[in-house]
Amino acid sequence: MSAKILAWHFLPPDGRLANGDGTLVIAGKTYRVEPPIECCSRGLHYSVRPLDALQHAPGPIVCRVECSGTIDAQDDKGACSVRRVLWLADATVPLRLFACWCAEQALNAEHAAGREPDSRSWNAIAVARLFAEGKASIQDLAAAWAAARAAARAAARDAAWAAAWAAAWDAARDAAWAAAWDAARAAAWDAARAAARAAAWDAAWAAARAAARDAQNARLEEVLLALAPEKRSKRRTA
């Protein structure tokens, strides 16, 4: 029997296993799959880092899990034969706000370097945040994204930073993808993605990508741990 691994796992919006059997996942319950276990093929999946789990997420329901039994681990994920669900929560709104934060960090980095991003990119993030808080419509979000996309396309005419564009997009993509499960969330994702792309005026961002992802992971872990039942209970009684 292996040591227990504390990890993260995401579920579709209906809270059911995404492996085709439709099992409803319940907090406190332990799920099992008989060996052999092979990552991506057979087993109950998990990621130790929340940002890695988000990259493979089929939806916004986050689970804090304890994995044990037979384990096949890879760099960004693993599969196990025993997965206990410690708690679960709908992370839709926190993930939308996290996506905004990731894109904002990309623009802040450019601003600090003396390269001021287009105001349309800043506005796209602001509107995406308002949308996450229920203060803007999907039409507002779509309009802001269209403007940010136009800014990114205009900047892209400079072929010298085309490669950096891709690097910056990748830095925010995994986090922002969490907002893309329906048309409204897709618009929020695109706004964050456009903002990151518009910030990529040279290859410096690519060099900082690992550090940026570490910062994103730390922020995401903080955001998700705040959804734990004991944290929510404290906020209600405060």
Same domain, 102 and 169: yes
Same domain, 110 and 203: yes
Q: Is 238 part of a structural domain of the chain?
A: no
Q: Tell me, what's the pLDDT at 187?
A: 42
Q: What is the phi-psi region of residue 82: left when phi exceeds 0, alpha when psi lies from -120 to 50, beta otherwise?
A: beta
DSSP one-letter string for 45-58: EEBSSHHHHHHT-S
Same domain, 97 and 172: yes
Q: Please write the tens of the pLDDT for every residue from 61-89.
A: 999 999 999 999 999 999 999 999 999 99
For residue 161, the 8-state DSSP code is G
Q: Are 231 and 87 in contact (CB under 8 A)?
A: no
Q: Is 163 part of a structural domain of the chain?
A: yes
Same domain, 82 and 130: no
Same domain, 141 and 40: no
Provide the whole-model pTM: 0.77
Domain count, the chain: 2
Q: Which of 131, 147, 152 is nearest to 196 (CA)?
A: 152
Q: Are 103 and 192 in contact (CB under 8 A)?
A: yes
Q: Tell me, what's the pLDDT at 100?
A: 79
Mean pLDDT of 193-215: 53
Q: Is 235 part of a structural domain of the chain?
A: no
Strand ranges in 100-216 using DSSP code E only, listed in sequence order: none
pLDDT greater at residue 70 or residue 132:
70
Lowest average pLDDT, out of 28-32, 73-77, 170-174, 227-231, goes to 170-174
Q: Tell me, what's the pLDDT at 235?
A: 61
Same domain, 110 and 212: yes
Same domain, 120 and 191: yes
Range of the domain at 77: 5-90
Query: Which pLDDT band, with edges at 50, 70 and 90, does 233 fall under?
Result: low
- Residue ending a domain, among 90, 113, 143, is 90
Q: Is 61 part of a structural domain of the chain?
A: yes
Q: Mean pLDDT for the chain?
A: 76
CA distance linking residue 119 with residue 80, whole number of Å = 47
Would the pLDDT of 99 be above 60?
yes
Q: Is 232 part of a structural domain of the chain?
A: no
CA distance linking residue 79 with residue 46, whole number of Å = 6
Q: Is 233 part of a structural domain of the chain?
A: no
Lowest average pLDDT, out of 78-82, 105-109, 193-197, goes to 193-197
Q: Which amino acid appears at position 120 of this protein?
A: R
Same domain, 31 and 138: no
- Residue ending a domain, among 74, 90, 106, is 90
Would the pLDDT of 195 be above 60?
no
